[in-house]
Amino acid sequence: MSDLIYRDARPEDVPTILALCHNGDARGPDTPPLDPETLSDPRYRTAFDEISADPNHQLIVVERDNEIVGTLQISVLPGLPRFGMKRGILENVHIRGDQRGKGLGSEMVQWAVERCREAGCGMVQLTSNKVRLDAHRFYRKLGFEATHEGFKLLL
């Protein structure tokens, strides 16, 4: 039985979530240090409030022994293809560095997939930076397939 606790993120969790995301940055050693002064930027709270207000999005933190050890966002996207099939999208899946390799990431993703299934999704999808080869192996091990090429346009 797991000792992980999944809960909706609260505003006071934002700095920890940002630190987890920063530590998982695909640039690895080239990642600039996290500036603690930026963690209180009001744009983060605006984004948090927007995510929290939308029933199609869930920002989750995962706790173990009263400490946040992981985070992820689940978004449910309705669509017309495949007879109106909903898609679950997993975003910003991160585990604290000292907790990696213990099966927590697998458990987190499986938990998120089950939430998508409960929401009526017929598919779960995610993206992973091309340089994160370990992450790609991790997702393939969980049954995800690299079926599409992803594109981004920064605005």
Query: Do 90 and 71 meet the contact criterion of CB atoms below 8 Å apart?
Result: no
User: What CATH architecture does domain 5-141 belong to?
Assistant: 3-Layer(aba) Sandwich (3.40)
Would you kindly state where each structural domain of the chain is located, as residue ranges?
5-141
Mean pLDDT for 81-96 is 95
> Can you give the pTM of this predicted structure?
0.91
Q: Give the model's confidence band at 79: pLDDT under 50 very low, under 70 low, under 90 confident, else very high.
A: very high
pLDDT (tens digit, 9 = 90+) per residue, 115-127? Answer: 999 999 999 999 9
pLDDT (tens digit, 9 = 90+) per residue, 40-73? Answer: 899 999 999 999 999 999 999 999 999 999 999 9
